[in-house]
């Protein structure tokens, strides 16, 4: 094996694949292809990790849907794969980019390695379309790099050969460790500092609730419920500071701004670059999210986590005691968050730093496995 093509397209994928790009480049000729499903947010991560793509497909345009993205990618990946002729293609997780890249590789009979393999909710519409994307990728991939034993067992139940499954931990922990070393010397942007109160830097008195949300299945009533819950929490606990970097999708922006814009202790800010986000995560008291990656990052930093989804493909974070699955019903979010804000014993139990996804050496393990196979 000499040539490896690494394909990703979103900010979370870039964060999780960047440590692996750096490790593998010491041993192989690495080509990086980005679809740019997340253009601006992707570019920020590439700059942080000093990665310059060999192929930038720049596929996004206004009002695209999954049909548009999938058809465009399939054609473009054919050209890239034919040009590079890699011995192995590496994809990540559950995006449309990963699924279509795997399919294109299959058509050309190129082996695929799947990083963060085996996550499952067993409901193809939650999360949508991610759950089906990763299931299809698993059917195509030859090598499966699972972040946990639970993920490995999911694959075994689907008749994936056990010899092709490797428990490696999650590369996001590698990335978090890299970034936390930089974050102490990093300053927030001027625009962020202008929107938040100065007392958030008073670690003795401030209790920051960090909120993220962007899941497609929460669009509509789900996001409205989340916003009403945040408004109620802000009213019941005026001493807390709720900071919400708002996703740019109009389906998120509209309800968030309509419901939360005039709440005095809720601060709506623009999406943060990754170093800023990790720095804010380190400063936070608790975290509310519907994101996948935050479910991995928050426990590694000892942050109590409330997952605003009906189901999670990361049950490890609940099993280790750092997280609660609270759904999107306002009463559930308010009740559980209030309980942890009011009860120090529960807070202390949830704030023990746990990393069910390894110690930050997943990229080393994956690299070692690839060299051996």
For the chain, domains (ranges, CATH) are: 3-170+358-372 (3.40.50.2000), 185-350 (3.40.50.2000)
Q: Rounded to the nearest 10 degrees, how much is the dihedral formed by the CA atoms of 152, 179, 363, 12?
A: 50
User: What is the rounded CA–CA span in Å between residue 103 and residue 11?
Assistant: 21
pLDDT tens string, the chain, 373 residues long: the values are 799 999 999 999 999 999 999 999 999 999 999 998 767 778 889 999 999 999 999 888 888 899 999 999 999 999 999 999 999 999 999 999 999 999 999 999 999 999 999 999 999 999 999 999 999 999 999 999 999 999 999 999 999 999 999 999 999 999 999 998 887 778 899 999 999 998 888 766 679 999 999 888 899 999 999 999 999 999 999 999 999 999 888 899 999 999 999 999 999 999 999 999 999 999 999 999 999 999 999 999 999 999 999 999 999 999 999 999 999 999 999 999 999 999 999 999 999 878 899 999 999 999 999 999 8
Q: Distances from the Cα of 124 to the Cαs of 66, 158, 261, in angstroms?
A: 15, 15, 34
Cβ atoms of 140 and 103 closer than 8 Å: yes
Q: Which two tokens stand for residue 282?
A: 């380190």
Q: Which two tokens stand for residue 37?
A: 């499903």
User: What is the rounded CA–CA span in Å between residue 190 and residue 174?
Assistant: 28
Residues annotated as part of the active site: 94, 116, 130, 214, 216, 247
User: What is the rounded CA–CA span in Å between residue 92 and residue 110?
Assistant: 16
In this prediction, residue 97 carries a pLDDT of: 96
Cβ atoms of 148 and 356 closer than 8 Å: yes
In this prediction, residue 203 carries a pLDDT of: 66
In this prediction, residue 79 carries a pLDDT of: 97
User: What is the rounded CA–CA span in Å between residue 29 and residue 23?
Assistant: 11
Determine the 3-state secondary structure of 196 from DSSP.
Answer: coil
In this prediction, residue 296 carries a pLDDT of: 94
Q: Sheet containing 165-167: which strands, arranged edge to edge?
A: 55-56, 29-34, 3-8, 88-92, 112-115, 143-146, 165-167
């Amino acid at each position: 094996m000499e040539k490896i093509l690494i394909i990703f397209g979103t900010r979370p994928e870039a964060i999780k694949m960047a440590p692996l790009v750096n490790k593998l480049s010491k041993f192989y000729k690495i080509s990086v292809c980005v679809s740019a499903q997340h253009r601006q947010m992707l570019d920020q991560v590439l700059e942080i990790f000093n990665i310059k793509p060999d192929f930038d497909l720049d596929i996004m345009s206004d009002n695209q849907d999954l049909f548009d993205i999938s058809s465009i990618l399939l054609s473009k990946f054919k050209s890239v794969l034919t040009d590079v002729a890699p011995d192995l293609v590496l994809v990540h997780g559950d995006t449309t980019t990963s699924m279509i890249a795997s399919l294109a590789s299959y058509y050309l009979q190129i082996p695929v390695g799947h990083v963060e393999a085996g996550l499952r909710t067993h409901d193809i519409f939650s999360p949508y379309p991610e759950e089906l994307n990763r299931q299809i990728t698993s059917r195509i991939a030859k090598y499966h790099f699972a972040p946990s034993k639970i993920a490995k067992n999911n694959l075994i139940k689907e008749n994936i050969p056990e010899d092709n499954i490797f428990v490696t931990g999650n590369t996001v922990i590698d990335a978090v460790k890299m970034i936390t070393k930089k974050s102490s010397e990093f300053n927030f942007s001027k625009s962020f500092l202008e929107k938040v109160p100065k007392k958030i830097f008073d670690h003795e008195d401030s209790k920051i609730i960090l909120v993220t949300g962007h899941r497609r299945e929460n669009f509509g009533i789900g996001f409205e419920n989340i916003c009403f819950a945040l408004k109620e929490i802000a009213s019941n606990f005026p001493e807390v500071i709720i900071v919400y970097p708002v996703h740019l999708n109009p389906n998120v922006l509209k309800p968030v701004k309509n419901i939360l814009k005039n709440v005095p202790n809720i601060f709506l800010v623009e999406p943060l670059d990754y170093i800023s986000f990790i720095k804010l995560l380190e400063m936070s008291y608790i975290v509310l999210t519907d994101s996948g990656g935050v479910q991995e990052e928050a426990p590694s930093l000892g942050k109590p986590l409330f997952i605003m989804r009906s189901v999670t493909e990361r049950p490890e974070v609940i099993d280790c005691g750092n997280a609660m699955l609270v759904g999107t019903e306002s009463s559930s979010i308010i009740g559980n968050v209030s309980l942890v804000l009011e009860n120090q014993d529960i807070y202390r139990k949830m704030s023990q730093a746990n990393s069910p996804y390894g110690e930050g050496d997943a990229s080393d393990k994956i690299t070692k496995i690839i060299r051996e196979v």
